[in-house]
Amino acid sequence: MDAQVSPVAVLILAVLTGVTGEVVRDVLCGEFPPLLLREEVYATAALAGAAAYLGLPGAGAPGTATTDVSAALVFTLRLAAVFRDLHLPRLQRIPG
């Protein structure tokens, strides 16, 4: 945001950074990341955190609260996904 890029670019970069970090973590831990991250919450958590980071200043939140709330949101979503074994729903093919 300091580089004066559009909010869409901020969202895209946040998701790419979050997903890449999670994939690197999986590889370093010896786990194979799921194919195209289909069911994992990597991108969803990163997108939610970036959206909160972009939206909270408009709601009047100070800068430090914006950062803290956004980081806590991503952390909470990832913890919930890991400990509650939460996954995104799979798309089902319709025969025909």
pLDDT of residue 23: 79
**The pLDDT value given to residue 43:** 84
> Has residue 96 been placed in a domain?
no
Task: Give residue 28's pLDDT.
Answer: 87
Determine phi and psi for 34, rounding to 5 degrees. Answer: -60, 150
Residue 34 in any domain: the answer is yes
Task: Please tell me the predicted confidence (pLDDT) of residue 39.
Answer: 64
Domain range holding 32?
7-83
- In the chain (96 residues long), the average pLDDT of successive 10-residue segments reads 85 87 82 63 88 90 90 92 81 74
The verdict on residue 67 lying in a domain is yes
Which amino acid, one-letter code, is at 1? Answer: M
pTM of the model: 0.76
Within a domain: residue 91?
A: no
Rounded distance, CA 61 to CA 47, Å? 19
pLDDT at residue number 52: 94
Confidence at residue 66, expressed as pLDDT on a 0 to 100 scale: 92
